[in-house]
């Protein structure tokens, strides 16, 4: 069954606890952390992760769009993150490996993220150590962008590697996922769908989560 991870980037930040509560029927709370350096936007950080942690029973799926995330992963874990994903473009292979190890040492799930221009092969050095791989289907930085269908072969390739190796690794897609694009994602092999504007822009959030699950 496909998991749904609504992105609180599209929530009302002045009513964040209320809006996290509105997605209680989802599987993860997707938290987009941006530093204004790795991506041209600044969103939320460690204090906000800590603040929302007691407001929901759902796992917090923290997507770090920050430069050299190895510097901060432990603090995100301690703030209450359950899954932490780091961009492979954000540091050296050695440091990305160290970041994954630090997250695991905290007893949390770890993964890597690929930007649209990054080839599927970039996951290979990390795949055996990932609990989750996230494929961006928009340029990271902003919600509400159009889905990049040309990322689907990348999703399918990574799905094939996960299956060939028999890994216990989820495959997540993020960006432009909506009722009209979810089938293509699932058919390509995604099993976790991030959706921001499609969830929070819906008149009935709970029904939209169900619709995205399929
Ligand atoms: C973009 C973020 C996404 C974004 C998705 O950098 O990583 O999680 O919030 O928003 P939608 O679903 O509106 O494309
Ligand atoms: Zn995200």
Can you give the residue range of the structural domain that contains 156? Answer: 3-213
- Domain total in the chain: 1
CA–CA separation, 195 and 186 (whole Å)? 14
Read off the CATH number of the domain in which 198 is found: 3.20.20.70
pLDDT for 136 equals: 99
Q: Where are the beta strands (DSSP E) in the chain?
A: 3-6, 29-34, 60-65, 83-87, 109-114, 132-136, 170-174, 192-195
Q: What are phi and psi of 45, to 5 degrees?
A: -140, -155
Ligand 1 centroid to residue 58 C-alpha, Å: 19
Counting atoms of ligand 1 from 1, which one is nearest the CA of 39? 6
pLDDT for 120 equals: 99
pLDDT, tens digit, for every residue of 102-122? Answer: 999 999 999 999 999 999 999
Ligand 1 centroid to residue 63 C-alpha, Å: 10
Q: Which residues surround ligand 2, an ion (CB under 5 A)?
A: 32, 63, 174
Residues annotated as catalytic are 32, 174
Residues of the chain with pLDDT under 70: none
CA–CA separation, 107 and 122 (whole Å)? 25
3-class secondary structure, 94: helix
pLDDT for 204 equals: 98
Nearest to residue 38, comparing CAs of 66, 61, 64, 2?
66
């Amino acid at each position: 069954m496909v998991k749904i991870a609504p992105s609180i980037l599209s929530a009302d930040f002045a009513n964040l606890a209320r809006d996290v509560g509105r997605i209680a029927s989802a599987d993860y709370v997707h938290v987009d952390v941006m530093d204004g350096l790795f991506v041209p936007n600044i969103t939320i950080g460690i204090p906000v992760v800590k603040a929302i942690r007691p407001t929901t029973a759902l796992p917090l799926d923290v997507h770090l769009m920050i430069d050299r995330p190895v510097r901060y992963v432990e603090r995100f874990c301690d703030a209450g993150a359950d899954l932490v994903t780091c961009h492979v473009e954000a540091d050296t292979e050695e440091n990305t490996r160290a970041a994954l190890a630090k997250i695991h040492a905290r007893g949390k799930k770890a993964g890597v993220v690929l930007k649209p221009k990054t080839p599927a092969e970039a996951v290979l050095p990390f795949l055996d150590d990932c609990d989750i791989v996230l494929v961006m289907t928009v340029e990271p930085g902003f919600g509400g962008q159009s889905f990049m269908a040309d990322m689907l072969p990348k999703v399918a390739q990574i799905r094939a590697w996960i299956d060939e190796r028999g890994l216990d690794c989820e495959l997540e897609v993020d960006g432009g996922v909506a009722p009209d694009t979810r089938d293509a994602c699932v058919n390509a092999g995604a099993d976790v769908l991030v959706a921001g504007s499609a969830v929070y822009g819906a008149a009935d959030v709970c029904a939209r989560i169900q619709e995205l699950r399929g």
